[in-house]
Structure formats: structure tokens, C-alpha cells
Amino acid sequence: MEEIIAFCKTRGFVYPSSEIYGGLAGIYDYGHYGILLKNNIQKEWLKSMVQKRSDVYALDSAIFMHPTTWKASGHVDGFNDPQVDCRTCKSRMRADHLLEEFDIDADKATLEFINKELDRLKAEGKVKCVVCGSKDLTPARQFSLMVKTNMGSPTDMLSEENVVYLRPETCGGIYLEYKNTVNSLHPKLPFGIAQVGKAFRNEIVARQFIFRTREFEQMEMQYFLHPSEMESIYEQWHEYRWKWYLDLGIKEEELKWVQHTKLVFYASKAFDIKYHFKAMDKFDEVEGLHARGNYDLTQHSKFSGENLEFYDQQRNEKYIPHIMETSVGLNRLVFMFLDNAYTKEEVNGETRIVLKLDKRLSPIKVAILPLMKKDGLAEKAEEIYQAFREYTMSEFDAAGSIGKRYRRQDEIGTPYCVTVDYQSMQDGTVTVRDRDTMLQERVSIDRLKSYIIEKVGIIN
């Protein structure tokens, strides 16, 4: 984990937020290569979910929503985690996570059960602070994960009726725009609404780098359907989402489906896709597929007074649709793809670090390198670079030996390096080096664009 964190910082992928002021726990900033990687992952998700499908529509809903939204959804009253404090070092811990260390499943357990188990372990001298090792811990209490803020004029901002929440998940905005989507786009059931957006959770413990943070991005799709179709459609999406990971280079043995044994009362089925994070030495969740029933739309219909029924012409029936949800953590996918791609190889007695990302995800698709800065090589390389940057993310690098420049590009995952050398000035060809094989090929400058497009799959 420490190696990945250091690599992400030194290579411009992820930085600790507010580091010059000592940092802010659970908050990270994405550097130049990090945001390019994140955008490429998002692009591939939207391509799969919206561009390649005629039954899913895009949305970008607001972070701020009417506060009744979260009362209707149950978040105001029930979106919390059990917290334990260390009286010695003042650290906060998740009580259910403490119990997991002793193989006690406390997920969604009552506070009474959690405290009973903690008291038993305390009496046996087993449970202790994960930071300082002290056994002087407080009883567990519920801790709200909702991040609260205010809207209004300066004189009344602090009044309770002006309290709003930063959304803890993005699906709420989809439910609120379900009716507008139906009325404006006239979709037929089944159909989905997909969006990518920020969410905020006041996590008790935000650790494990960008895996669990207080500000993060979700990629979610809510698929509205007739209840009789839930089983078959769930299985279709189950297969569809699994294949997406395999297509982008994640090996099947590094993934697994884990079914939820405890479900919220309105859900009929829930599975997580878990990836084996080498940096954490464990499988952990990157995506969830949930059969949610019609609870969400029913609640918003009840609290808002709006009729959210769908008239199904084919069935000549009115009903509130049921929902199949797929929810992905974009930040977790950045971590997953970095963890999967980070490779160390021995080459001629030296260690080579290379990010073997799928070419579609690579932050930089091609680097243009002059062999030397003199004799017109740099000017020719600059000319090629200016042409390439018009249609894909490219870099020009003339600093240091050609070997060191290859290594720099390997480390940020650039699939192809184009070297302009003395032969280029004579016959109009360049050397194209493959990141993974390190093999080189002479290619005509006139054919270079089509060559790279064919290899990487980029278009103008």
C-alpha cells in the first residue's frame, strides 16, 4: 500500500489534499495523470452503459436536493454507523469492524447487539484501539454519515429549516428526475437512467487510500422495470457488468461475486463484485448490483404527493416500476486499475516499473521523443507532437537519455513511444516502441496516425 501511495504521488496520479496544511483525512486530489485516468474509466463506463445501449439515458443531477428527499429515502433517520472512541488517543473506530476481527458479523446489527458483544470482548481483554492499543474504549453509539450544511440568507442560515445535505449517494437525483425523464423522453419499460457524480459521507474511519474517502464519485444506473421481469433482467445485468471488467484487462481470477446474506427490507437480491487488491491483500467491493423493488419511487411519491406510476401501454397497466441498480465507485476503480496494472519487471539486470493499463484507459496514448535535441530532430518531433495532440492525449519529452524517457512513459502507462532519429530525417520514418513488449518498429510518418489509431482504438 505504501509503495502504491508513494508511486501515485511522485508520478502525478493522486495527492493528499491540503498537504501544505498537514492534510485532511480521507480527502485526496487527482493530479494530471490521475484525472486523465479517471476520465478514461468514466468514458468507458458511459460508453458501455449509454452509448452502446438504446434503453439507458444520461443524467447529471444536482448535489444539493430538497431536504425532504433524504427523509423519504430513510437517510436522515437511518444512515449511520456504530462508532467507538478511544479514551486514550481519541481515535474513532467502526464498532462493527472491531467485531469483524473476531468473526462476529455485525453488519446492520442493532446497537444493543453490538454493545453486548463489545462488553463480552472487553471483559475478556481482547478488544483494543487499532491506533494505540489501549483497551479503554467507549460504548458504541450511532454516528450519522450525512454531511450537513445550510442554504439561505446570512441572517437565517443557521435555522433548522434551512439545513440541507450533501448527497450521500447519487441515485436520489435519478429518482427525483424519473418523472421528468418519462415525460420528456417517453421511454418504454424497461429503461435505465445513468449518471456519474460526487457523493459525500462523513465516514468514521476513512482509510485505505482512495478506497474509502469522505468525498468520492459514483457511477450509478437505475433500471426501471415491471416486477415480473426482475429475475431475468437482473441476470442479464449480472453478466453484462462482469464482462465489462474482463474487457478492460481485469483477470477473472482477480474478481468474484459475493452475495449479500442480509438485505434491507425492500430488496430481494444483492451481489457485490469484489476485486483482489494486492495493495490491501484482500478482496473488496468495487460494484454492487441490487434488486430494490419499488420502495424508492413509492416513498418519493408518498412524501412529494406526485403520482409516479408508469402507464404500460403494452400491458395496459399502471404501476410504480421496480428498480434494478448497479452502483460503482469511480475512485475505487481508479485504485483497482492502478493496483492491477502496477508491474515490476527485471530488464537487463534492472527493475522496470510499468503500468500495464488497457490502452483505452492510459492517460497518455503516445509520447513523441526526439533522439537528440540538435540537428533538427527536436523540431521534427515537435511538429509530429503538435499534429497528434489535436486528436489524442500526447506528450513531448526531450529531457534526459532516451532510455530514461522510455522508463518515465512506462511508469505512467503510455502504450507507444515515437522516437524521431537521424533516419527519420532521411527517409521519413520513425521508431514506434511498444510499452508491454518493448519491441520497436519503423513506421512512416505519413502512416503514423492511422497506425496509432489502429493500435489504440482512438478516433478524431
Same domain, 251 and 172: yes
pLDDT grade for 365, boundaries at 50, 70 and 90: very high
* Buried b or exposed e, range 423-446, using 16+ CB within 10 angstroms: ebeeeebbbbbebeeeeeeebebe
Q: What percent of the chain has pLDDT over 70?
A: 96
pLDDT grade for 203, boundaries at 50, 70 and 90: confident
**344 in a domain, yes or no?**
no
pLDDT grade for 165, boundaries at 50, 70 and 90: confident
Q: Is pLDDT above 80 for 349?
A: yes
Same domain, 445 and 398: yes
Same domain, 218 and 110: no
Q: Supply the pLDDT for residue 96.
A: 85
440-449 long-range contacts, Cβ below 8 Å, gap at least 24?
Answer: 445/384, 448/384, 448/418, 449/387, 449/388, 449/391
**385 in a domain, yes or no?**
yes
- Whole-number Å distance between alpha carbons of 415 and 413: 6
User: How close are the terminal C-alpha atoms of the chain, in Å?
Assistant: 38
Q: Is pLDDT above 70 for 152?
A: no
Summarize the confidence of residues 169-197 as an average pLDDT.
95
| CATH assignment at residue 446 | 3.40.50.800
Omega before 190 within 30 of 0, i.e. cis? yes
Reduced to 3 states (helix: H, G, I; strand: E, B; else coil), residue 355 is strand
pLDDT grade for 325, boundaries at 50, 70 and 90: very high
The more confident residue out of 259 and 26 is: 259
Write out pLDDT tens, residues 250-262.
Answer: 999 999 999 998 8
Cβ atoms of residues 414 and 364 within 8 Å: yes
- Whole-number Å distance between alpha carbons of 128 and 106: 17
**352 in a domain, yes or no?**
no
pLDDT grade for 157, boundaries at 50, 70 and 90: low
| CATH assignment at residue 259 | 3.30.930.10
Write out pLDDT tens, residues 43-98.
Answer: 999 999 999 999 999 999 999 988 888 888 877 776 778 889 889 988 888 888 88
Q: Supply the pLDDT for residue 439.
A: 95
**437 in a domain, yes or no?**
yes
Same domain, 188 and 305: yes
Q: Supply the pLDDT for residue 261.
A: 84
Cβ atoms of residues 249 and 357 within 8 Å: yes
At residue 299, what is the residue type?
Q
- Whole-number Å distance between alpha carbons of 268 and 259: 11
Same domain, 214 and 297: yes
pLDDT grade for 105, boundaries at 50, 70 and 90: confident
- Whole-number Å distance between alpha carbons of 368 and 416: 9
**176 in a domain, yes or no?**
yes
Cβ atoms of residues 172 and 206 within 8 Å: no
Reduced to 3 states (helix: H, G, I; strand: E, B; else coil), residue 363 is coil
Mean pLDDT of the chain: 91
Tell me the residue range of the domain where 298 lies. 2-66+158-339
Q: Supply the pLDDT for residue 77.
A: 72
Q: Is pLDDT above 60 for 159?
A: no
Same domain, 94 and 182: no
Same domain, 86 and 8: no
Q: Supply the pLDDT for residue 264.
A: 82
Same domain, 235 and 310: yes
Residues near 348 by beta carbon (within 8 Å), at least 6 away in sequence: none
**349 in a domain, yes or no?**
no
Same domain, 293 and 242: yes
Write out pLDDT tens, residues 205-237.
Answer: 667 899 989 899 999 999 999 999 999 999 999
Structurally, the chain folds into a number of domains equal to: 3
Same domain, 282 and 332: yes
pLDDT grade for 160, boundaries at 50, 70 and 90: low
